[in-house]
Amino acid sequence: MATKDTPVNDPMLDPITGEFAVIAPGHTFKSVTEEISNIVLTPRTPLGWFFGFAIAGGVVLMLLVALTWLFLRGVGIWAVTIPVAWGFAIINFVWWIGIGHAGTLISAILLLFKQGWRNSINRFAEAMTIFAVVCAGLFPLIHTGRPWLAYWLFPYPNTMNVWPQFRSPLLWDVFAVSTYATISVVFWYIGMIPDLGTLRDRAKSRFGQFFYGMLAVGWRGSVRHWVRYEMSSLLLAGLATPLVLSVHSVISFDFAVALLPGWHTTIFPPYFVAGAIYSGFAMVITLAIPIREFYHLEDLITLRHVDNMCKVMLATGLIVAYGYSTEVFMSYCYSASKWEYFMMWNRMFGPIGWAYWVLITCNIALPQLLWSRKLRRNVPFVFLMSLIVNTGMWFERFVIIVISLSRDYLPSSWGTYRATKWDYMTLAGTFGLFTFLFFLFIRFLPMIPMSELRLMLPQAKIRAEAEPLPEAGD
């Protein structure tokens, strides 16, 4: 159904708005509950799941090998050295945390804007956030060189009588990212409690009842609880929104506060945030499309979702394009600084200039195809486009970090950068870790929020009936 034209009397089309339906018609409270909870509660795990899980697990083992060697030998096994001291570790950190941002955007900002369509995808977008933050958080830790002393980053009373230095953006990062990780986990878990209650009540096995029972903390669906719960979700959404904007802004301060040409610019905070959301939506699409195919969830994750996510990608992609053009304008036309001028020339035509053109192609040129409604509803095409955007966004961070660091003010301190096999193994290993965690998630936790889908069904509307209320009991 993906490639052919949508017929006019398609049941998936809303007759009034002409929009694609968010949920296919004909679903009831029961069918929604069964379709989603059976994925988790079935005693038969699909063979494909084991297959994917085993591959992801193998890649995680490779990550463990790379990390073990790193801990034995130190960061010298990577290509990082002076002047390019940040390399892959920080590129991957910024890239992964950016991916996480779309999850928060979907769960928080779209909730505040009452975008009902988000309900089918918000749970796994939030899970994606958490797993992406796990992968992201790994990099600064292992990049410290002595990760077993990473707790020194936090202010705590110690016998050395030393305290952290709060004027550094790198310390702000510690608080921004740790807060982001904590709030994401809490938001995700709180959002899952009613669904865990459903799983507890529907689980057949003793272990399932116990496991989901403990996690559901005794949720019984009292409307008094629901009112508080809804208020709490709204507040968490309202808090996560400024949080997500601040996290990538703080990360951009790591660069913008430094004096290096190519880093020292005021456009960075908004441009980093837009880029984060851009790559994050691309990752949501990369995950959603295989999941909806594999678990036959086309009724719940419909073409409307794919279409809307493409529109968000297009919009944030244009903001990113604006950021790129501002950088060019600032350095060539406005700065009157030969260092800035040289930085931009070197970025485009220097020894690693090809990376800049990869990013322009992947992030700006190709995504313009998404203006076509027909292509936005072509599922394989959208999947391919999401991979392209993710590649482009990785190259954006590569360009910012490596090209700027390798050519600073003084030609005698110029250098180059060529990633080693350990760099590539660690990057690839985090893909494995991300996928590994995701496989566990879709097998053991409800990946679509049942309670929110029920609310979206037409049956959920309260109808005033003409029939009078019966007399009071006495």
Q: Which of 467, 104, 439 is nearest to 287 (CA)?
A: 439
- Of the ranges 227-235, 333-341, 372-380, 399-407, which one interacts with another protein (CB under 8 A)? 227-235
Q: Which residues contact 59 (CB under 8 A, 6 or more apart)?
A: 428, 429, 431, 432, 433, 435, 436
Neighbour-count burial of 113, counting CB atoms closer than 10 A to its CB (0-12 exposed, 13-18 middle, 19+ buried): exposed
Which residue among 21, 27, 33, 317 contacts another protein (CB under 8 A)?
33
If one asks whether residue 202 binds another protein (CB under 8 A), the answer comes out as yes
Which residue among 47, 149, 462, 466 contacts another protein (CB under 8 A)?
462
Given the complex with another protein, which of 225 and 311 has the nearer CB atom? 225
- Of the ranges 74-82, 235-243, 289-297, 315-323, which one interacts with another protein (CB under 8 A)? 235-243
If one asks whether residue 44 binds another protein (CB under 8 A), the answer comes out as no
Pick out residues in 159-198 that bind another protein (CB under 8 A). Answer: 161-169, 171-172, 175-176, 179, 182-183, 186-187, 189-190, 194, 197-198
Given the complex with another protein, which of 169 and 270 has the nearer CB atom? 169
Q: Can you say whether the dihedral through the CA atoms of 289, 290, 291, 295 is positive or negative? A: positive
Given the complex with another protein, which of 127 and 425 has the nearer CB atom? 127
State the greatest distance between any 2 C-alpha atoms of the chain, in Å, as a whole number.
96
User: Residues 408, 410, 414, CA angle at the centre, nearest 5°?
Assistant: 60
If one asks whether residue 239 binds another protein (CB under 8 A), the answer comes out as yes
- Of the ranges 17-25, 291-299, 335-343, 457-465, which one interacts with another protein (CB under 8 A)? 457-465
The number of beta carbons lying within 10 Å of the beta carbon of residue 130 is 19
Given the complex with another protein, which of 126 and 396 has the nearer CB atom? 126
Given the complex with another protein, which of 254 and 327 has the nearer CB atom? 254
* 20: β partners: 13
Pick out residues in 103-162 that bind another protein (CB under 8 A). Answer: 155, 161-162
Site string for another protein, 241-270 (x = CB under 8 A): -xx--x---x--x-----------------
Helix segments in 24-162, DSSP class H: 29-41, 47-73, 87-104, 110-112, 122-143
Which residue among 51, 71, 226, 414 contacts another protein (CB under 8 A)?
226
Q: Which of 53, 95, 87 is nearest to 70 (CA)?
A: 87
- Of the ranges 5-13, 139-147, 209-217, 290-298, which one interacts with another protein (CB under 8 A)? 209-217
If one asks whether residue 474 binds another protein (CB under 8 A), the answer comes out as yes
Shortest distance, position 233 Cβ to another protein, whole Å: 9
Shortest distance, position 228 Cβ to another protein, whole Å: 5
Helix axes 421-444, 47-73, angle to 10 degrees: 140
Pick out residues in 330-389 that bind another protein (CB under 8 A). Answer: none
Q: Which of 64, 441, 152, 105 is nearest to 273 (CA)?
A: 105
Question: CB-hemisphere CA count at 13 Å for 222?
Answer: 5
Size of interface with another protein, in residues (CB under 8 A) = 75
Q: Are 353 and 347 in contact (CB under 8 A)?
A: yes
Which residue among 10, 14, 19, 230 contacts another protein (CB under 8 A)?
230
Place of tokens 């928060």: 104
Helix (H, G, I), strand (E, B) or coil at 215: helix
Given the complex with another protein, which of 88 and 93 has the nearer CB atom? 93
